[in-house]
Structure 1
Amino acid sequence: MQPRKWLSEKRKDLGKTQEEIATAAGIKRPYYSQIELGSRSPSVGVAKRISKIIGCDWTLFFANNCSELEQKTNTA
């Protein structure tokens, strides 16, 4: 899988650390890091919690070959 650049960019735009997002989502930081790096996919529940925190559409976590433009549009 490819890194979720849109996710790390959105987190940084919010001024949050991986630890802060992970804690707010009820998961461990290493798991969140793996989600951001694209080495793991979150469950639907975790994707929805992270999306609510960072303000994006939770389905972006499961979109294959989703373009950066589409991701920026859906996270804006």
Structure 2
Amino acid sequence: MRTWLKQKRIAQKLTQAAVAKKSGISRSFYTHIENGTKTPSVLVAKKVAKTLHFDWTLFFENECSLKEHSGVKEVS
């Protein structure tokens, strides 16, 4: 779960459907992104970030993206 993303959405009083529509993606895809089961492409990350007013690179920072891949072991 990307709790930080959900918190940003709720702070702006937006539904998942509203964020998805403003970002040009389906609500179900946005839900997967927020739940951490899907990682957005750079293009989608930029659109969601613009909608919710944050830096799109946050999706790809270790402390945010590694949590969704907790079952994946690091390659040494």
User: Normalising to structure 2: TM-score of the pair?
Assistant: 0.81
Give the unaligned 5+ runs of structure 2. 65-76
Alignment match of 1:58 (pick from 56, 59, 69): 56
Counterpart residue number, 1:10: 8
Alignment match of 1:21 (pick from 19, 22, 38): 19
Residues 1:47 and 2:40 are matched in the alignment: no
Q: What are the Cα deviations for residues 10-41 of structure 1, in whole angstroms up to 9, with x where unaligned?
A: 00000000000000111000100000010000
Give the stretch that moved more between structures: 57-66 or 44-53.
57-66
Could you tell me how far apart the structure 1 residues matched to 2:63 and 2:50 are? Answer: 22
What letter matches 1:13 in structure 2? Answer: A
* Deviation at residue 63 of structure 1 after TM alignment: 1.1
What letter matches 2:37 in structure 1? Answer: S
Root mean square deviation of aligned Cα? 0.8
Give the unaligned 5+ runs of structure 1. 67-76
Q: Radius of gyration: which is bigger?
A: 2
Q: Count residues in correspondence.
A: 64
Runs of 4+ in 1 over 4 A off after TM superposition: none
Q: What are the Cα deviations for residues 17-73 of structure 1, in whole angstroms up to 9, with x where unaligned?
A: 00000001110001000000100000100000110110111011111224xxxxxxx
